[in-house]
Amino acid sequence: QKEVEQNSGPLSVPEGAIASLNCTYSDRGSQSFFWYRQYSGKSPELIMSIYSNGDKEDGRFTAQLNKASQYVSLLIRDSQPSDSATYLCAVEETSYDKVIFGPGTSLSVIP
Amino acid sequence: DTAVSQTPKYLVTQMGNDKSIKCEQNLGHDTMYWYKQDSKKFLKIMFSYNNKELIINETVPNRFSPKSPDKAHLNLHINSLELGDSAVYFCASSQDGGRRTDTQYFGPGTRLTVL
pLDDT for A17-26, tens place per residue? Answer: 999 999 999 9
As beta bridge partners, residue B65 has B77
Most B CBs within 10 Å: which of A51, A98, A107, as the mutation test of the B interface?
A98
Q: Is A52 on the interface with B (CB under 8 A)?
A: no
> Residue A54: CA atoms inside 13 Å, Cβ hemisphere, count?
3
For residue B104, the chain A residues in CB contact (below 8 A) are 34, 46, 99
Q: Is A98's CB within 8 Å of B48's CB?
A: yes
Q: Is A92 on the interface with B (CB under 8 A)?
A: yes
For residue A88, the chain B residues in CB contact (below 8 A) are 43
> Residue B31: CA atoms inside 13 Å, Cβ hemisphere, count?
20
Query: CA–CA separation, B74 vs B91, rounded Å?
Result: 8
Tell me: pLDDT of B99 over 60: no
pLDDT in tens, A56-88: 999 999 999 999 999 999 999 999 999 999 999
